[in-house]
Amino acid sequence: MTQASPLELLKQARTRFTQKEIAAHVGKDIKTVRRWEKGETPCPAMLEPALQAMLRPSTVRNAGAHDNEANTRIIDLFAGIGGIRMGFESHGGQCVFTSEWNDFSQKTYQENFRDGAVQHTLIGDIVTFPAEAVPEHDILLGGFPCQPFSIAGVSKKNALGRPHGFECATQGTLFFDVARIIATRRPAAFLLENVKNLLSHDKGRTFDVILQTLRDELGYEVHYRVIDGAHFTPQHRERIIIVGFRGKTSFSWDDLRLPEEGPRLASILHRTDGSEPVLPWDGDRFFDHAARQVQPKYTLTPKLWTYLQNYAEKHRAAGNGFGYGMAYPQSVTRTLSARYHKDGSEILVYQGEKKRPRRLTPRECARLMGFPDTYRIPVSDTQAYRQFGNSVVVPVMREVARIMLPHVRALTHAAQAESAAELAH
């Protein structure tokens, strides 16, 4: 199935929204939207994510949406700023519960997910929250932090022989909270996301405990794969995705549609040719539209640029690979990290010979992670850099959701049919 073009997405949006609403959403005037619709001027490619976001079920649910899609309930644990949730909402998921402990992340999350029409709870720390109070759900989502597990004195045999052996191996880690909720609520499926190094952490023992817990003790069919976000955005970002199902399925990672060649950095940079969209929620915070340039504050100071060059030269002389990462329009960048706010060294945008490079702006970081321009950034630059550096590549989650959800729905339908048969008897 081919992906819808910006014009096709615009036509879909016009069945549900007025030209005025679309114009306000994408940061253009009504005349521009009208010209796009009539074919007088081509729809720009960068319009696509904004229209996709507008068509998401959380924005306005289409009256013709399939009930089985609209009723796939998800919970969002260690939610960050909601990147995993966005991927599942684009395929009909409905979030019924969120947990995120960081106050700044909560602020961004609440600004972008307005759950007034849905019975929804957002809590802080999941550690003290009773599993029985988590609402029923079909899919548990969680980008849980990687923590070392203490497995001293607990053999696999002993752990497997206990009804809740995972408590011995994982108590005191945040994975324990995922496991206790799965054990109590028994969702049809789960998706867990983590850094690639989880596979090799503590010589593989950490990952062994996770698999043992999910497969052997909780009884789920488990599949995992490392996926590079570079298939969808101009950033190398390898993350392990672990998915599990309560029953047997025909799920296969082979069903993923991963573009062989992803976009390049130019696709997410602010445009200096006059085509940069004016986003009402950003204003000129990141980009000076009148001057057609990125705000000067994102260019490295002479002192910082000198420091980074000297630091890189020092490590080169010592035979180390440490240093800054210069990025060009045709680049695929290094991984954006939560420390980007400190010096921006892993992704420095080239600005020409004899010119100092600059950091990505927070809006460009959002684009680098696959967030649409409709996503609002209500926090300081420092917090925004931390949040996007800790987040997920949204299109990766959207693609995983696409291949997961048919199997989840099959399991939930089978469970409903079984319950109905029992009641009939």
* Catalytic annotation, residues: 146
Strand partners, 192: 142, 242
Give 264-310 as a DSSP string: -GGGTSPPTTTT----TTTTTSSEETTTTEE-GGGBPPHHHHHHHHH
CA distances from 7 to 42, 273, 291, 372 (A): 8, 22, 29, 17
What is the token pair recorded at 302? 């002479």
Q: Are 375 and 368 in contact (CB under 8 A)?
A: no
Backbone angles phi, psi at 139, to 5 degrees: -135, 130
Give the DSSP letter of residue 115: -
Give 265-278 as a DSSP string: GGGTSPPTTTT---
Strand partners, 99: 123
d(CA 141, CA 107): 20
Those residues whose C-beta lies under 8 Å from the C-beta of residue 308, and which sit 6 or more positions away, are 300, 323, 324, 343, 345, 348
Which residue bears the tokens 């409709």? Answer: 374
Those residues whose C-beta lies under 8 Å from the C-beta of residue 161, and which sit 6 or more positions away, are none
Is residue 384 classed as helix, strand or coil in its secondary structure?
Answer: helix
Residue 252, classified by CB atoms within 10 Å of its CB into exposed (0-12), middle (13-18) or buried (19+), is: exposed
Sign, CA dihedral 366-370-371-372, equals: positive
What is the token pair recorded at 97? 């519960």
What is the token pair recorded at 398? 């959207």
Which residue type is seen at 48?
A: E
Buried b (16+ CB within 10 A) or exposed e, 312-343: beeeeeeeeeebbeebeeebbbbbbbeebbeb
Sign, CA dihedral 33-34-37-41, equals: negative
